[in-house]
Structure 1
Amino acid sequence: MVELARRIFSSPLTVLGLFIVLVIVISAAFAPLIATHSPTEVDLLSKLEAPSAEHYFGTDEVGRDIFSRIIYGTRISLRIGLLVVLIAFPIGTILGAIAGYAGGRIDQVIMRITDVFLSFPGIILAMSIAAALGPSIENVMLALAATWWPWYTRIVRSSVLSIKHSEFIEASRALGANPFRILFKEVIPNSIAPATIQASLDLGFVILSAAGLSFIGLGAQPPSPEWGAMLSNSREILREAWWAATFPGLAILLTVLGFNLLGDGLNDILDPKQR
């Protein structure tokens, strides 16, 4: 643990990523204490006010406080990112482990299905699924999870192929362990490290993709303080109220940057080839 902490703090970019992620998590956890106004309260007398001591990031077209909406928006974005990864990661991991360990026709069937999903651009497939299900945050999460699991399947399958004939697995077979026990007790725990690192990187990209779907009207609906929806609503007032689009855009940028820096740092720390 001490060595892990030393390696983390020896990389300035990893520390920066960790700091950004911690700020985002704290903002989400303590949103009611940090926000200065209600995220959905309309005040037409204060509409399109520039950033000030009263409204740190200004107000939008109906007088809602943008700072408070961004703070509450961290909850929505983190929930989307975490739930999509938590749905896609185990599905992809189990399928990839089964394909790599079983081989033969099982491997071919699983990987051909995976290839079908990977043959479409992920965001286009997610748009199609979200449009078919209807605009909502829940449907966006399902659409993104349906397009994200194939990546984990490929990563885990490659890891399993490299260890399936290792001595500790052969020893388990010799001791009479059944295939399911070997798969879940030996194979998966020793092959998910690369997929785990990828998952930390994917959190930022999932949030970015969800914001994109909300931007075109397939995700969060008004008056939800979701960052992509806030950007979409600010298009018509961009010239007279630059702050309405700037601050939600910066929130998305910093969130994606934070998770990317942290994921890259974890890759350098946990990948034995980088040591």
Structure 2
Amino acid sequence: MKFFKHLLQDKLAVIGLSIVAITVVAGIFAPLAAPHHPEAVNMELRFASSSWEYLLGNDHLGRCILSRLIYGIRPSVLWVFAALALSLTMGAVFGFAAGYFKGKIDAFIMRACDVMLSFPGYVMILAVIGVLGTGLENILIAFVLMKWAWFARIIRTSVMQHADSDYIKYSKALGAGSLTIMVKHIVPVSLPDIAVISSSSFGSMILQLSGFSFLGLGIQAPHAEWGMMLNEAREVMFSKPEFMLAPGLAIIIVVSSINFLSDALQAALDPKLMASSRKVKYRMIPAGKEVA
């Protein structure tokens, strides 16, 4: 309850959470939320301005931009979240194992992470695209291959800070198993680090997917995706720049909301940050005033 209370006190976090929630719901129920079919071509409405029927206008093939924007949530946000969840799960499993058991297990997992992290992220994605070809699925595969080792290394560091604590030793002395100790004691104290790195990675992965789709390496036509919508509007970017505005603003707003939410999660989940924020609020109370 304290977590949600502290989170709801941050206005930017509430706004960010609301935007992300609305975006996710709109993406899941895209067939109901979109006013038109995203791939319906109508050349008579080519580059038509906004109207009551087409609120954001029509693209170079007369397709509804609003409908394509809503359907673009699925690859741009939902599928990226799925890739993030898979890579985070892999990283957490290896990170907890390396940080808790240490020794040979830690050495083996960290050497594997060193090998994966020796490749720059964009080079890894381009290599996967070069081997498997262009497409959304291949970029998501590259995300998983690129991110799990980074998650494992950061989570391992967080786990090692608590693995030798007195309460962990006391639990071992009482006969608690390794899995029980990790689930009940180490996972809760590692949540702030996991929440922050996953939420910040979520925003960067959305930007990377949009960038590769803008270059024509991501999802292919006629499917909708925000980066590809920017690419399709390039030919009229000077004569009709408003056609690049909708997908561009969608990317900026969603990524900014995720970043705001990431900062709030760190403050709400980290007891030290919560205590410091309370001290600041207490110091700002004028002299002679009682604290409610």
Write the letter of the residue equivalent to 2:128.
I
1:245 partnered with 2:244: yes
**In angstroms, what is the RMSD of aligned CA positions?**
2.0
Q: Identify the residue that residue 43 of structure 1 maps to in structure 2.
A: 42
Name the residue aligned to 2:120: 121
Cα contact 2:91–2:149 (8 A) shared by 1: yes
Q: Which residue number in structure 2 is paired with residue 257 of structure 1?
A: 256
1:73 maps to 2:72 = yes
| Cα deviation code 1:144-186 (max 9, x no counterpart) | 1111112211221111111111233223432444545545565
Matches within 5 A, 1:171-250: 171-179=170-178, 182-183=181-182, 186-188=185-187, 190-250=189-249
Which structure carries more relative contact order (alpha carbon 8 Å, separation 6+)? 1
CA 272–234 in structure 1, closer or farther in 2 if over 3 Å, else same:
same
Question: After superposition, what is the alpha-carbon deviation per residue over 1:21-71, rounded to whole angstroms, capped at 9, x for unaligned?
Answer: 122123213322322211000001111112222321111111001111001
Aligned counterparts of 1:10 and 1:121: Cα–Cα separation in 2: 39
Residue equivalent to 2:111? 112
Q: Is the 8 A contact 1:80 1:210 kept in 2?
A: no
Q: TM-score, normalised by structure 1?
A: 0.91
How many Å apart are 1:83 and its aligned residue?
A: 0.9
Q: Secondary structure at the match of 1:126?
A: helix
SS in 1 for 2:190: coil
Q: Deviations over 1:97-130 (max 9, x none)?
A: 1111222333223223222322333233222213
After alignment, is 153-162 or 24-33 more displaced? 24-33
Report the Cα distance in structure 2 between the residues aligned to 1:181 and 1:14, rounded to whole angstroms. 33
Maintained 8 Å contact 2:195/2:265: no
Largest Rg, 1 or 2? 2
Cα deviations by residue, 1:236-258 (Å, 9 ceiling, x for unpaired): 23223323222111111111111
Q: Which runs of 5+ in 2 are unaligned?
A: 275-292
Q: Which residues of structure 1 form unaligned runs of 5+?
A: none
Q: Distance in 1 between matches of 2:126 and 2:98?
A: 28
- Give me the TM-score of the superposition, normalised by structure 2: 0.86
Classify 1:192/1:266 alpha carbon distance in 2 versus 1 (closer, same or farther; 3 Å).
closer
